[in-house]
Amino acid sequence: MTSRVRGLLVLAFPILLSGCSSAAYYSQLATGQWDLLHAREPVSQVIADPQRPAALREQLAKAQAARTFASDHLHLPDNQSYRLYADLQRPYVVWNVFATPAFSLDPVTHCFPIAGCVAYRGFYTQGAARGDAALQRQQGMDVFVSGVEAYSTLGWFDDPILSSMLNWGDERLATLIFHELAHQRFYVKDDTEFNESFANFVEQEGTRQWRAKQGLPPSDSSNLQQREQFISLVLDTRQRLKTLYAQPLPAAEMQQRKSAEFERMRGDYRQLRDQQWAGNPRYDVWINSPLNNAKLLPFGLYDQWVSAFAALFKHASGDWPRFYAEVEQLGKLSPEQRKAALQQWAGR
For 130-173, the pLDDT digits (tens) are 999 999 999 999 999 999 998 888 888 999 999 999 988 899 99
Q: Note whether 153 and 180 are within 8 A (CB).
A: no
Q: Note whether 117 and 110 are within 8 A (CB).
A: yes
Q: What is the pLDDT of residue 117?
A: 79
| Average of per-residue pLDDT across 186-203 | 92
pLDDT in tens, 276-319: 999 999 999 999 999 999 999 888 667 789 999 999 999 999 99
| Average of per-residue pLDDT across 103-113 | 88
Q: What is the pLDDT of residue 282?
A: 94
How far apart, in whole angstroms, are the C-alpha atoms of residue 70 and residue 255?
47
Q: What is the pLDDT of residue 113?
A: 66
Q: Note whether 92 and 1 are within 8 A (CB).
A: no
Q: What is the pLDDT of residue 348?
A: 82
DSSP code per residue over 118-161? ES-EEESSHHHHHHHHHHHHHTT-EEEEEEES----TTSS-PPE
How far apart, in whole angstroms, are the C-alpha atoms of residue 248 and residue 332?
37
Q: Looking at the predicted structure, is the pLDDT value of residue 215 above 80?
A: yes
Rounded to two decimals, the pTM is: 0.84
Q: What is the pLDDT of residue 10?
A: 38
Q: Note whether 180 and 104 are within 8 A (CB).
A: no
Q: Note whether 15 and 112 are within 8 A (CB).
A: yes
